[in-house]
A and B are shown apart, each in its own frame.
Chain A
């Protein structure tokens, strides 16, 4: 079996579990993830509560499933935001060149001068820590790298003969960009979007962990870990399972991302 085929399977399995749990968690969870039951607080994993309960007696498995849904929606929307904004700005800057290019890229480079986690933190202080604020802040923090990649491939594409041909045929710039440039720069964009999905998931969890993500009592893996911290000595499972969920999902996304990269970028094959 080739390496990237193996990675598709190895990465696809945890990724499918993660997406499946998120999807099921939207419709059904074993218990109500928000229901407080102080009589059964801090119960270890057992027959009634498979993964135990937290300090308020809420079922851990139900909360993990609900949190998966939140993480997937935030990460997917954020990546979609970055994709849309990055493709638009990148294609326009790369195709138009000249002043448009210079203005877009210098703003872009200034944003790239901040570490993306920090940029997200800064933007969060403007947008506020709620679901939409987080998506907006993360989307804006991740757009610059997308713009760079798109512009890079557009710059090399626009010198190719088929673009000249499209122009000579009398097609408008907008039509040429949409019909000929856009589809041809999707390869690197898909590779970047996959790894971005993992990175957004990680940043979102980190923000939640810091208390700047989706506010409690709504569960996210990050805020579950943060609230587990004071109880970790007596209730290890509270600290172990949410982290395991994040790690396995990220592992799945990373392996899957490697497989996609191998496929779209033959130079990297076997590396």
Chain B
């Protein structure tokens, strides 16, 4: 187990390095000089030269990279061009907003989708299976920004049950915060359920074909015992990996859902910063999201042996 964890951790290091090169390179590829991007178009030549020196732009690129990486490792992602706020504070604050929404949504999706997927596999090709598969294909095909708009239209505008505009943090007011989260979370859950159901069903089907399941049935075990004690655990592995991918993806900010429901999350920050050409923030966000994505997948891989101990043996 320790050896598995160690090799998996080691394998993340080169990826981390290349990701940081990619993020650093990105800002160099944007047309124009980083110093003039930083100061705006109206800055005079002296100020530009001073800024170039302060940013180390007069040094060779590898040295610039080393300086930047050194800052990043110490938690300094630079300051926003727009308002001078430290990027890390900005990113962490916005991330907390996105993360609470995403974690609740993914948690609920798993609770709904995994049993549905297993039920569909258990009744393969029957009416229940057809219904569940059709539903998940349908949910998969509806884009979240439209689903969100329709939920907003029905529950917010037509029925008037839920608030349409604005956002309250759970930390400030738990009850109001949760009410504001209902529609965005519902949107995300409906979409993710479509994805997870398909995976849970496919991996359960794979397991149900194996000999040990036939053996368990032949022993006279009840169907529920076969499914819950024998199939469920083995079938959950691939689904677990998918959940990690989904979580990593969504934690990068769900810009469209945040836009529909006017939630100040990380995704919105990235989009707004691209609009405002605030590339220091864009760079910081990208690095942060890529790291989160790697970290989530690392944790998912490290926890995988809990469901399937065979993995460590490889």
Using a CB–CB cutoff of 8 Å, the interface residues on chain A facing chain B are 106-107, 109-111, 113-115, 117-118, 121-122, 124-126, 202, 205-206, 209-212, 222, 225, 228-229, 232-233, 236, 239-240, 242-243, 246-248, 250-251, 254-255, 258, 268, 270-271
Contacts and interface: CB of A to CB of B under 8 A. Distances in A.
A115 B252 contact: yes
22 contacts: A110-B18, A111-B22, A113-B19, A113-B294, A114-B289, A115-B248, A115-B289, A117-B249, A118-B252, A118-B253, A124-B274, A206-B256, A209-B259, A210-B271, A232-B157, A236-B153, A239-B146, A239-B149, A243-B146, A247-B143, A251-B137, A251-B138
A250 B30 CA distance: 33
B145 A114 contact: no
A243 B150 contact: yes
By Cβ-Cβ distance, the 10 closest A-B pairs, closest first, are A243-B146, A110-B18, A251-B141, A250-B141, A115-B249, A247-B142, A233-B157, A125-B274, A115-B252, A209-B145
A225 B289 contact: no
A155 to B, nearest CB: 18
A122 B286 contact: yes
A222 to B, nearest CB: 8
A258 B136 CA distance: 13
Contacts of A106: 14-15, 18
Given A212-B271, A225-B146, 5 more contacts: A110-B21, A124-B274, A209-B256, A239-B146, A270-B125
Interface in B21-69: 21-22, 26, 29-31
Classify the secondary structure of B's interface with A: helix
Given A113-B19, A121-B270, A250 B143 contact: yes
Interface in B138-160: 138, 140-143, 145-146, 149-150, 152-153, 157
B95 interface: no
Contacts of A126: 26, 29-31
B255 interface: yes
Interface string B200-228: 01100100000000000000000000000
B6 interface: no
B236 interface: no
A80 B145 CA distance: 26
A211 B19 contact: no
A254 B289 CA distance: 28
Contacts of A107: 18
Contacts of B205: 271
Interface string B282-299: 100010011001100000
B279 interface: yes
Contacts of B157: 232-233
B30 A125 contact: yes
**Chain A CB within 10 A, most for which of B15, B143, B201:** B143
A243 B270 contact: no
Given A210-B259, A271-B202, A254 B140 contact: yes
Nearest to B142: A247
Q: Chain B interface residue count: which class?
A: 35 or more
A62 B193 CA distance: 34
Contacts of B145: 205-206, 209, 222, 225
Contacts of B146: 225, 239, 242-243, 246-247
Nearest to A124: B274
Contact of B293 (A114, A121, A206, A250): A114
Contacts of B259: 209-210
A39 B7 CA distance: 69
Contacts of A242: 146
B141 A114 contact: no
Contact of B141 (A111, A210, A247): A247
B24 to A, nearest CB: 12
A237 to B, nearest CB: 11
Contact of A210 (B21, B248, B255): B255
Contacts of A111: 22
A242 B149 CA distance: 12
B19 to A, nearest CB: 5
Contacts of B248: 115
Nearest to B250: A115
Contacts of A236: 153
A118 B270 contact: yes
A229 B149 contact: yes
Nearest to A236: B153
Contacts of A115: 248-249, 252, 289, 293
A92 to B, nearest CB: 19
Contacts of B249: 115, 117
B305 to A, nearest CB: 23
A114 B292 CA distance: 10
A225 B260 CA distance: 10
A211 B275 contact: yes
Nearest to A114: B290
Contacts of B253: 118
